[in-house]
Amino acid sequence: MTMSRPIIGMTMGDGAGVGPEIIMKAMDDQAVYDNCRPFVIGDAKILERAGSVLQSKLTVRSISSPNEAQYVHGVVDCLDLNLLPADLPFGKVSAEAGHAAFMYLKKAIELANAGEIDAICTAPLNKEALHKGGHMYPGHTEILAELTGTKDFSMMLSAPKLKVIHVTTHVGIIDAVKMINPERVYKVIRLAHETLQKAGYDQPRIAVCGINPHAGENGLFGYGEEEEKVIPAVERAQKEGVQVVGPLPADTLFFRTTRGDFDIVVAMYHDQGHGPVKVLGLEAGVNITVGLPIIRTSVDHGTAFDIAGKGIADEQSMKEAIRQAIELAPKR
């Protein structure tokens, strides 16, 4: 039975943020080891520093490949890329921390592509630091897509009672409306359907948000975006047997979904989907990249530079991200 526990590679994220602390806090939980074989891809000395901030009893052990890991509670195995200085300042944007965060993720993707790990669970990176480090991506999702050669992907946020998948994410609102088209909406509906089916939903109930208030109210608001961009996609998916409805007014749809009317919401742009999930509590949400050939989950919060190094960051989102990685990982 123990051999069926998935191997989870956890990336340390930005070493100047709360990532190392929330990883050390999460790894202190015996239940994590009962359900998976976790190790960290990062810098051992930064994890050790986080441990001392937390007055943790855990030992950090440097390894050079996953097959050296022991996966025993009390010892945090770290695939040590040794990229950061031991005295990296807490809470400061730095090019070296941004570059290191990229390299941890790149290594994790290589291991996942080679079948050496079953899922990737990421601690937060800082976009400004990432860019300073020479990696011009909007975030984790786009790096994962490029390095796995994935064209159709989407960000899914999962919280208790609410799952949301996004048609567009890190772009301005005017650009988002331009980018929404029937093909993209259709692909995201299909991604929602297939992801939930893999997770055990027989016939997932999918609801699609409108772009405008009241989903345009039959042309009263907007310039016919719903008719042009959303309705053709919904009808196409319905013809294929997908249980999908919409476009529906976003102001009531999220409430209806938490009540149990639907299994997942297709949101049109970043804040339309992120706002409702974050109202449920930052510690509850998990960010999942769907459409990739590998499983990737993440905390749904940032690097929290303002509290880094204080030992007070909440690890619940990290633990939930690990739990969902275990749930979604292919079974060995």
- pLDDT for 74-113, tens place per residue? 999 999 999 999 999 999 999 999 999 999 999 999 999 9
Report the candidate in 95, 70, 68 with the shortest Cα–Cα distance to residue 83. 95
Phi, psi of 295 (to 5 degrees): -85, 130
Pair 319, 300: CB distance under 8 Å = no
The long-range contacts involving 136-139, CB below 8 angstroms and separated by at least 24 positions, are 138/169, 138/170, 139/170
List the alpha helices (DSSP H) in the chain. 19-26, 30-35, 44-53, 95-113, 127-132, 140-148, 173-179, 182-198, 225, 231-239, 250-259, 270-279, 316-328
Assigned token pair, 242: 């997908």
Q: What is the domain partition of the chain in residue ranges? A: 1-151+293-332, 161-279
Pick one of 3.40.50.150, 1.10.10.60, 3.60.10.10, 3.40.718.10 as the CATH number of 1-151+293-332: 3.40.718.10
pTM value is 0.85
CA distance 233 to 85: 50
Q: How far apart are CA 161 and CA 262, in angstroms?
A: 10
Q: How far apart are CA 176 and CA 113, in angstroms?
A: 31
Is 119 in contact with 328 (CB distance < 8 Å)? Answer: yes
pLDDT band at 332 (very low <50, low <70, confident <90, very high): low
Give buried/exposed letters for 139-162 (b at 16+ CB in 10 A, else e). Answer: bbbbbbbebbebeebbbbbbbeeb
DSSP state of 184: H
pLDDT in tens, 102-159: 999 999 999 999 999 999 999 999 999 999 999 999 889 889 999 999 999 999 998 8
State yes or no: pLDDT of 248 exceeds 70: yes
Task: Classify domain 161-279 by CATH number.
Answer: 3.40.718.10
Tell me if 1-151+293-332 shares its fold with 161-279.
yes
**Hey, which residues does 162 pair with through a beta bridge?**
159
pLDDT at 1: 36
